[in-house]
């Protein structure tokens, strides 16, 4: 077992831990806005760590720099925030239930007002 | 070898009248006559070798695998019929020139007529049974067009429908019979079939074959009980009646019987069916003809009667009777065609065909009257005319009958009775129309027709006389030749002279003359007697039957197709279960011999997730979006399974299809009711659950049985030849674009057609658009959020880059046109979602229909391209090139084909999705209506 394998193992484990935490968060957190937080972090950080591991593995195995993962990362980093944003917008629109310790409701109200000027 | 040209020339000639209708009516008729005339000359030029005993034969491969070839065969019988068809056809063309009025579309009429001529020539010259049947049906169709030529008349339409139904149904019976013949003999080639008479007659299926073939012949030749369509076909223009209903189409059935005489005749069954049908038809037709007041009605029933006579002769099983049958075919065609033409002239010049009003026309049109009288006398069998000769032969043959045992004396007596009525109606035709007082209340003052309208009648009447006086010289050789090919061997001795001395047939003729005239003289009593019977109108009965049938069918269809998708699925699955259960019971063991793979945790979890997703979809089916999510779990797991079991191409395809399907479902759900009502009662639940369980069990068993058995497939061949033969290392792609390129071409064509079909369905659709969601919440006013729009737009080039990459690498690594097409579609749909239809419409000016079409065109042209190199359709070409900086790379024609696939997929997907999406915009018909 050399240092590359240790490093690879570290990134795989790191990604796994982030994913696990994200999944637990999705299941346990009390309301929509909080739950939105957990999986988006899991995708960015968890998948990011796994992609680094994958890039290292294929670069060493094939002897050529592996470029796929960078592309995947770009796509992911562009799309994940937008989908989170869209979900949040929908939540504002349909007025999901809010737990009592959710913070920053002022932002939500502002967004709602801008969405629907008639209110 | 010009035989092939004889039916082909008229076929090409069908377009001549359509093209030349602007040159005026005389030139139109002239040009129309040229192809048949050429064909006739060609036929005459071939005739000498046929007279020398040769059978001219010409054959082209058509579908050799199915034993089908385009074969033409000219023997004596075919020569006789072809001469009749072309000769009388030419006369009818001349006649129709004067018969049709300026209002009629003459070019169209001639086109139909020539098409019919082609079909008839095809029947008589066919050397292949299936080909014969094809032309047989073509005569039914073209006669339908001809009978309904005056389609503004209700009786023409009804008559045409009736003729088509009866002859078409008979044609189907004939097809069944011919297929059986082909099965028994092992070939559809006429020469082979004609040589295997004994084989057929001794086969157990002979009665079935005989009945089926005779059904075809009897319906076409208007034999009892199928005779009723012929009188109603008289609604056709008279040239059609003269051609189809005297000389050609109704003789097709007779021709069929004569053609198959060597193989099907000679048995007790043949005698019984054919002669009895002929006898009944002969008597019925002759009797009814007398009571018809319509000139053409009389001739129609007389035709039925004469066809019965020929059928009777063919059924008599003596060789001489067959010669008499062939002779009467010639005679009847000649005198009946001229009589129809004369009747047409009378109708044309006096405005009516009602014999109660037509009287004393002798004074007005002596020339036509003379011609008609000679032809009618021939029909009655007056000596020195051709009708007399064949009737004498007929009488002589009836005397020799022994097959009915002690009742055989009835045949000549009934034959004489038929002849009595034949004389009576001929007498009526002559006396009622041309003498018998003055015309009653005619629409026009009758006068002689134009000079050339009489020419065809004159020619035919002259033939009647010539044949009647010098039979041996004029028709002897042709008759002998045709009879030889019917009998298939030596001819019996017969004499064609007029005078055979005082004998029984002459006495019968004399009795018939006398009896006929007596009956005609006392016709008032007979008419009064007949008027006691109600006269059933075949048209009404037929219509009633058709309506009943239609009602029955729609009742059944309403039961099956009531618009409930659940019911369709239920019936479909039930049918599948019934079909699959049988073979499954025969399969003894479920488990095969293939050793199973070890179970690993990942696969197990995947399988559990798959099952859970499927079950959750069923349970949550009333919560639409949730069940859509669980459904997508199923799709994702399936694509993961593909990736796991070494099918990356399938995994990629499944993934892209999944995305597109989800968008499609979301769009569809928008228009469906927002909440699914609970409608299943417990009984239905049990029914559906048990059916689903059974189907699942059967499919599972099939799969299990399949995967546990060693698979002997051609995969090995594909793997070995993929690189060397198709130039690609991605075997899946090489199979798609090369090995099975034709399949792919067919599939993308189906995809394109389906997309066009869906487009056609939804393009003018008016749907109810809900303004709120299921909970009554209005849709968000922010339809196209800016962040989504901007990011989607910037993603488009990246996504297109990916699809190009996937497309290009497809030949060697997972990818290809299909997947790339789906990725492009998804990328563009993303723009539709983010920006809306209106925004895209201004920027993306692509006509998706054209895209589908050009994709198919490219794929097809690539395939055709290989023909120029002498290779079969869709053989791919590839080679390696090198360019500076780029290095070595491969070019393959398969790539162009794949481009076609790509374009079709993109076009089809977007045609469906973009148009479904368009329904929600302000441009949709529904929105316009609301405004």
pLDDT digits (tens, 9 = 90+) for B851-876: 999 999 998 888 888 777 777 777 77
For residues B332 and B860, what is the distance between their CA atoms, to the nearest angstrom?
54
CB B410 within 8 A of CB B404: yes
Q: How many CB atoms lie within 10 A of CB B389?
A: 25
Of A71, A82, A116, the CB nearest to B791: A82
Nearest-angstrom CA–CA distance, B695 and B680: 20
Residue B437 has pLDDT above 70, yes or no: yes
H or E segment at B81?
A: helix B76-99
Q: Tell me the pLDDT of chain A averaged across its residues.
A: 85
Of residues B271, B262, B322, the one with CA closest to residue B489? B262
Q: Cβ contact (<8 Å) for A94 and B777?
A: yes
Residue of chain A minimizing CA distance to B799? A75
What is the distance of C-alpha B116 from the center of its chain? 15
Flag if B795 and A78 touch (Cβ within 8 Å). yes
Nearest CA in chain A to B788: A82
In whole angstroms, give the CA distance from residue B395 to residue B155: 38
Residue B499 has pLDDT above 80, yes or no: no
Q: In the predicted model, what is the mean pLDDT of residues B315-344?
A: 90
Closest CB to B791 among A78, A90, A116: A78
> Averaged over B241-254, what is the pLDDT?
89
List of chain A residues whose C-beta atoms are within 8 Å of the C-beta of residue B791? 78-79, 82
Q: Which residue has the tokens 């019976």?
A: B173
- Please check the confidence at residue B45 and state whether its pLDDT lies above 80: yes
Nearest CA in chain B to A83: B788
Nearest CB neighbour to A85, from listed B780, B787, B795: B787
Q: Which residue in chain B has the smallest CA separation from A92?
A: B780
- Ordered by start, the domain boundaries in chain B are 1-264, 268-491+500-518, 732-925
Interchain contact B781–A (C-beta under 8 A): yes
Subunit contact A115:B782, Cβ cutoff 8 A: yes
Residue B397 vs residues A1, B145, B323, B411, B508: alpha-carbon distances, Å: 111, 39, 10, 10, 12
Res. B711: pLDDT tops 80: no
- With tokens 């036929």, the residue in question is B43
Average pLDDT rounded to a whole number, residues B449-458: 90
Rounded mean pLDDT, B767-775: 74
Minimal C-alpha gap between A3 and chain B (Å): 28
Residues in chain B closer than 8 A to A87 (CB atoms): none
Contact A79 B787 (CB under 8 A): no
Q: Which residue has the tokens 């990134």?
A: A11
- pLDDT of B905 reads 93
Cβ distance of B795 and A79 shorter than 8 Å: yes
Pick the residue from chain A with its C-alpha nearest to B798. A75
- The pLDDT of B373-386, averaged and rounded, is 89
Which secondary-structure segment (H or E) carries B33? Answer: helix B25-51
How far is residue B327's CA from residue B261's CA, in Å, rounded to a whole number? 16
B 281-340: CB under 8 A from A? none
In this prediction, residue B926 has a pLDDT band, given cuts at 50, 70 and 90, of low
Asked whether the beta carbons of residue B785 and residue A89 sit closer than 8 angstroms, the reply is yes
Please say if the pLDDT value at position B768 is more than 60. Answer: yes
From chain B, the residues in CB contact with A74 under 8 A are 798
Query: Testing the interface with A: which of B674, B791, B796 to mutate, by most A Cβ within 10 A?
Result: B791
What DSSP assignment string belongs to B589-612? -S--SSPPPPP-HHHHHHHHHHHH
Percentage, residues of chain B above pLDDT 90: 34
Burial class (CB in 10 A: 0-12, 13-18, 19+), B694: middle
Q: How many CB atoms lie within 10 A of CB B203?
A: 17
CB contact under 8 A, A85 and B798: no
pLDDT at residue A53 greater than cutoff 60: yes
Contact B916, B660 (CB under 8 A): no
**Residue B300 pLDDT grade (very low, low, confident, very high; cuts 50, 70, 90):** very high
Q: Of the spans A46-50, A70-74, B82-86, B188-192, which averages the highest pLDDT?
A: B82-86
B212 with B177: CB under 8 angstroms?
yes
Of the partner residues B780, B782, B787, the one whose CB lies closest to the CB of residue A82: B787
Residue pair B691/B577 in contact by the 8 Å Cβ criterion: yes
All residues at 6 or more sequence positions from B217 whose CB lies less than 8 Å from its CB, including other chains: B170, B174, B223, B253, B254, B256, B257
* Cβ–Cβ < 8 Å for B680, B672: no
* pLDDT at B930 exceeding the cut of 60: no
Contact B88, B337 (CB under 8 A): yes
* Chain B positions in Cβ-Cβ contact with residue A75 (cut-off 8 Å): 795, 798
Share of chain B above pLDDT 70, in %: 97
With an 8 Å Cβ cutoff, is B800 touching chain A?
Answer: no
Which of these, B377, B399, B398, B397, lies nearest to B388 by C-alpha position?
A: B377
Cβ-Cβ contacts under 8 Å, A71 against chain B = 802
Band (B810; pLDDT cuts 50, 70, 90): confident
Q: Tell me, yes or no, if B798 comes closer than 8 A to chain A by beta carbon.
A: yes
pTM of the model: 0.69
Chains A and B form CB pairs within 8 A to the count of 33
B804 touches chain A (CB under 8 A): no
Contact A78 B794 (CB under 8 A): yes
What is the tally of helices (H) and strands (E) in chain A?
5, 0
Provide, as residue numbers in chain A, all residues whose Cβ is less than 8 Å from the Cβ of B785.
85-86, 89
- CA B759/CA B766 separation, integer angstroms: 13
Q: List Cβ neighbours of B299 (8 Å cut-off, separation of 6 or more).
A: B234, B241, B246, B289, B336, B339, B340, B343, B429
Note the ipTM here: 0.86
Q: According to the model, what pLDDT value does residue B239 have?
A: 92
* Block residue for tokens 């009488």: B395
- How many CB atoms are closer than 10 A to CB B754? 13
Closest residue in A to B790 (Cα–Cα)? A82
Distance of alpha carbon A36 from alpha carbon A85, whole angstroms:
10
Contacts with A82 from chain B: Cβ below 8 Å: 787-788, 791-792
Q: Residue B793 above 50 pLDDT?
A: yes
| A93/B788 touch (CB, cutoff 8 Å), yes or no | no
Would the pLDDT of B927 be above 70? no
pLDDT for residue B893 is more than 90: no
DSSP class of B1: -
The distance of A102 to chain B (nearest Cα, Å) reads: 24
Confidence of residue B525 (pLDDT cuts 50, 70, 90): confident
Q: Chain A partners of B794 at a C-beta cutoff of 8 Å?
A: 78
DSSP type of residue B775: T
Nearest CA to B467 out of B456, B476, B457 is that of B476
Four-point Cα dihedral B124, B127, B130, B132, nearest 10: 0
Residue among B773, B777, B781 minimizing CB distance to A115: B781
Got the DSSP string for B297-339?
A: HHHHHHHHHHHHHHHHHHTT--HHHHHHHHHHHHHHHHHHHHH
What are the tens digits of pLDDT across the range B18-28?
888 888 888 88
Tokens representing B550? 């239609």
Mean pLDDT of the B98-125 span? 91
SS3 of B658-718 = HHHHHHHHHHHHHHCCCCCCCCCCHHHHHHHHHHHHHHHHHHHHHHHHHHCCCCCCCHHHH
Helix (H, G, I), strand (E, B) or coil at B892: strand
* pLDDT score at B886: 63
Nearest residue, CB atoms, A86 vs list B773, B785, B798:
B785
Q: Are B295 and B353 within 8 A, CB to CB? A: yes
Cβ-contact B324, B392 below 8 angstroms: no
Chain A interface residues facing chain B, Cβ-Cβ under 8 Å? 71, 74-75, 78-79, 82, 85-86, 89-90, 93-94, 115-116
d(CA A66, CA A57) in angstroms, rounded, equals 9
Residue B17 near residue B107 (C-beta atoms within 8 A): yes
- Residue range B547-551: mean pLDDT, rounded: 92
For residue A75, give the chain B residue with the closest CA: B795
- Write the residue in B780, B788, B795 that is nearest to A115 by C-beta: B780
Residue B931 is predicted with a pLDDT of: 46
Q: Is the pLDDT of residue B925 over 60?
A: no
Does the distance separating the beta carbons of A82 and B788 come in below 8 Å?
Answer: yes
Nearest CA in chain B to A88: B785
Whether residue B469 contacts residue B350, with contact meaning beta carbons closer than 8 Å, is answered with no
Strand partners, B882: B888
Measured between alpha carbons, how far is residue B895 from residues B717, B724, B808, B859 in Å? 22, 16, 8, 10
**Quick check: B239 and B344 in contact, CB under 8 A?**
yes
- Over residues B400-421, mean pLDDT: 82
Average pLDDT, chain B: 86
Gap between the Cα atoms of B721 and B715, Å rounded: 10
Question: Which residue in B has a C-alpha nearest to residue A93's C-alpha?
Answer: B780
The mean-pLDDT minimum among B19-28, B234-243, B707-716, B745-754 falls in B707-716
């Amino acid at each position: 077992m050399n240092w590359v394998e240790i490093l690879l193992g570290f990134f795989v484990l790191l990604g796994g831990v982030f994913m696990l935490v994200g999944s637990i968060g999705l299941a346990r957190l009390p309301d929509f806005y909080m739950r939105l937080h957990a999986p988006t972090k899991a995708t960015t950080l968890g998948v990011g760590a796994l992609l680094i591991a994958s890039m290292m593995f294929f670069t060493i195995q094939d002897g050529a720099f592996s470029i796929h993962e960078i592309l995947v990362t770009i796509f992911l980093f562009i799309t994940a925030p937008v989908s989170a944003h869209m979900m949040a917008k929908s939540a504002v629109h349909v007025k999901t239930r809010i737990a009592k310790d959710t913070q920053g409701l002022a932002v939500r109200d502002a967004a709602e007002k801008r969405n629907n000027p008639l209110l | 070898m010009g035989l092939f040209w004889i039916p082909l020339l008229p076929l090409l000639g069908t377009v001549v009248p359509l093209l030349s209708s602007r040159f005026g009516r005389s030139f139109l008729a002239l040009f129309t006559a040229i192809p048949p005339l050429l064909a006739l000359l060609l036929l005459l030029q071939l005739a000498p070798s046929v007279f020398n005993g040769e059978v001219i034969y010409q054959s082209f491969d058509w579908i050799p695998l199915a034993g089908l070839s385009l074969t033409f065969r000219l023997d004596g019988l075919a020569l006789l019929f072809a001469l009749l068809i072309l000769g009388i056809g030419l006369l009818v063309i001349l006649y129709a020139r004067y018969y049709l009025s300026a209002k009629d579309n003459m070019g169209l009429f001639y086109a139909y007529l020539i098409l019919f001529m082609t079909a008839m020539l095809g029947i008589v010259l066919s050397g292949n049974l299936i080909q014969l049947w094809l032309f047989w049906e073509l005569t039914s169709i073209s006669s339908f067009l001809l009978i309904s030529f005056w389609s503004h008349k209700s009786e023409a339409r009804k008559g045409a429908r009736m003729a088509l139904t009866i002859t078409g149904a008979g044609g189907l019976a004939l097809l069944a019979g011919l297929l059986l013949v082909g099965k028994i003999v092992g070939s559809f080639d006429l020469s082979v079939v004609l040589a295997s008479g004994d084989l057929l007659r001794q086969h157990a299926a002979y009665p079935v074959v005989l009945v089926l073939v005779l059904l075809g012949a009897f319906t076409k030749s208007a034999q009892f009980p199928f005779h009723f369509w012929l009188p109603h076909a008289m609604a056709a223009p008279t040239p059609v009646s003269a051609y189809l209903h005297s000389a050609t189409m109704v003789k097709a059935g007779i021709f069929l019987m004569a053609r198959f005489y060597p193989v099907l005749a000679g048995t007790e069954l043949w005698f019984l069916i054919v002669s009895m049908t002929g006898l009944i038809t002969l008597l019925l037709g002759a009797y009814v003809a007398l009571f018809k007041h319509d000139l053409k009605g009389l001739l129609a029933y007389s035709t039925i009667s004469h066809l019965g006579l020929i059928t009777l002769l063919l059924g008599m099983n003596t060789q001489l009777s067959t010669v008499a049958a062939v002779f009467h075919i010639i005679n009847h065609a000649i005198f009946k065609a001229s009589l129809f033409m004369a009747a047409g002239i009378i109708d044309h010049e006096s405005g009516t065909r009602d014999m109660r009003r037509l009287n004393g026309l002798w004074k007005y049109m002596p020339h036509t009257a003379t011609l008609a009288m000679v032809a009618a006398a021939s029909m009655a069998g007056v000596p020195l005319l051709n009708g007399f000769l064949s009737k004498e032969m007929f009488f002589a043959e009836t005397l020799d009958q022994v097959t009915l045992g002690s009742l055989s004396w009835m045949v000549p007596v009934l034959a004489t009775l038929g002849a009595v009525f034949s004389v009576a109606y001929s007498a009526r035709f002559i006396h009622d129309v041309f003498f018998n007082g003055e015309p009653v209340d005619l629409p026009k003052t009758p006068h002689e027709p134009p000079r050339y309208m009489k020419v065809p009648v004159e020619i035919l009447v002259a033939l009647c006389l010539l044949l009647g006086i010098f039979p041996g010289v004029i028709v002897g050789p042709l008759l002998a030749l045709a009879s030889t090919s019917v009998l298939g061997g030596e001819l019996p001795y017969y004499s064609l002279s007029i005078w055979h001395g005082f004998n029984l047939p002459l006495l019968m003729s004399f009795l018939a003359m006398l009896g006929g005239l007596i009956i005609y003289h006392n016709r008032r009593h007979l008419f009064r007697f007949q008027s006691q019977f109600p006269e059933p109108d075949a048209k009404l009965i037929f219509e009633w039957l058709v309506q009943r049938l239609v009602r029955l069918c729609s009742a059944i269809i309403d039961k099956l197709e009531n618009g409930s998708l659940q019911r369709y699925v239920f019936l479909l699955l039930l049918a599948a279960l019934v079909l699959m259960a049988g073979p499954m019971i025969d399969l003894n063991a479920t488990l095969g011999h293939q050793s199973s793979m070890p179970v690993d945790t990942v696969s197990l979890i995947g399988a559990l997730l798959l099952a859970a997703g499927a079950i959750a979809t069923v349970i949550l089916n009333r919560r639409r979006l949730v069940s859509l999510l669980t459904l997508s779990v199923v799709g994702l797991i399936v694509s993961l399974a593909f990736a796991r079991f070494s099918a990356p191409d399938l995994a990629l395809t499944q993934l892209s299809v999944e995305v597109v399907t989800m968008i499609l479902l979301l769009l569809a759900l928008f228009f469906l009711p927002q909440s699914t009502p609970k409608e299943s009662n417990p009984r239905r639940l049990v029914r559906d659950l048990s059916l689903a369980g059974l189907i699942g069990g059967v499919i599972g068993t099939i799969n299990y049985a399949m995967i546990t058995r060693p698979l002997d497939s051609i995969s090995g061949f594909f793997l070995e030849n993929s690189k060397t033969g198709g130039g690609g290392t991605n075997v899946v792609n090489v199979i798609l674009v090369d090995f099975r390129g034709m399949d792919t071409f067919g599939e993308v064509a189906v995809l394109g057609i389906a997309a066009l079909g869906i487009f056609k369905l939804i393009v003018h659709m008016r749907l109810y658009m809900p303004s709120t969601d299921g909970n009554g919440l209005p849709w968000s006013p922010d339809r196209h959020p800016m962040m989504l729009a901007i990011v989607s737009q910037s993603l488009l080039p990246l996504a297109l880059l990916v699809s190009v990459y996937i497309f290009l690498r497809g030949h060697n690594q997972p990818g290809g046109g299909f997947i790339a097409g789906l990725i492009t579609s998804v990328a563009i749909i993303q723009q539709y979602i983010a920006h809306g239809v209106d925004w895209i419409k201004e920027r993306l000016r692509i006509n998706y229909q054209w895209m589908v079409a050009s994709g198919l065109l490219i794929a097809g042209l690539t395939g055709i391209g290989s023909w120029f190199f002498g290779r079969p359709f869709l053989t791919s070409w590839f080679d390696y090139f090198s360019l500076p900086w780029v290095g070595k790379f491969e070019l393959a024609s398969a790539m162009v084909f794949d481009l076609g696939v790509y374009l079709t997929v993109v076009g089809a997907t977007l045609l469906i999705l973009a148009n479904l999406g368009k329904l929600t915009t302000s441009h949709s018909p529904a929105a316009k209506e609301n405004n």
